[in-house]
Amino acid sequence: MAKLIGYASKWCDDPPLAEQIKILEDHKCWNVWADSTDSDNGRHKAMFDTRPGDTLVVVRLLSLGGFRNLTTVLESLQRDGSHFCVLKEGIDSRGPNVAPLIPTMLQALAWRRSIRRQEISFGLAYARAQGRIGGRRPVMSSEKLAMANELIAGGQHTMAQIAEALGVSRSSLYNSGLGSKTRAAH
């Protein structure tokens, strides 16, 4: 007998997790899996729990996660002969009019992802043309590196003391390459 398998997760502006679980239980889901963090354990368990003919039920489509997760889940369900149901959006792949739309829906999502990638590429190219390369600015300036090298060469200060004097963290000193010279000394 086909079962309803529920999956709840906190994604974007989804309802609170407890509310999603209650909605899924009220919808008569046989089992409800949930992710309260950014892990995918609940989704993986729900997918493993779903057998051919079963239906994976979520409150909102975005509960399945971002684009990559969404397409992976939908493709996997379709390949395995399982169904999915999205309560808020009213999508149910068990209906005769919805099943043929799944490949089209996946193509639309792929098209959206392609456009988003192009937008990001254009934005990065524009920023580079303006002289902005992005990323976090280095904490260790050339002056701070020179000062750190002098203090290390003196041999009278620990890395923690040097970091405090320069107003940076010890990991910033180590990440700038200074720590490898002094680890054996201190």
55-114, pLDDT tens digit by residue? 889 888 777 766 567 777 777 887 888 888 888 878 887 776 666 666 677 677 777 777
Are 141 and 102 in contact by the 8 Å Cβ rule? The answer is no
At 185, the pLDDT band (50, 70, 90 cuts) reads very low
Q: Which helix (H) or strand (E) holds 101?
A: helix 101-129
- pLDDT, residue 99, reads 60
Residue 46 has pLDDT above 80, yes or no: no
Alpha carbon distance 171, 160 (integer Å):
10
Distances in whole angstroms, Cα of residue 27 to Cα of each of 4, 35, 62: 9, 19, 18
Residue 123 has pLDDT above 70, yes or no: yes
Distance CA 182, CA 186 (A): 6
Q: What is the pLDDT of residues 130-159, one digit of tens each?
A: 888 777 777 888 899 999 999 988 889 998
Burial class (CB in 10 A: 0-12, 13-18, 19+), 46: buried
Q: Which two tokens stand for residue 12?
A: 């974007």
pLDDT class for 30, splitting at 50, 70, 90?
A: confident
For residues 120 and 49, give the distance between their C-alpha atoms in angstroms, rounded to a whole number.
Answer: 37
Kind of pairing between the strands at 83-86 and 91-92? antiparallel
Length of the chain: 186
Return the CA Rg of the chain: 26
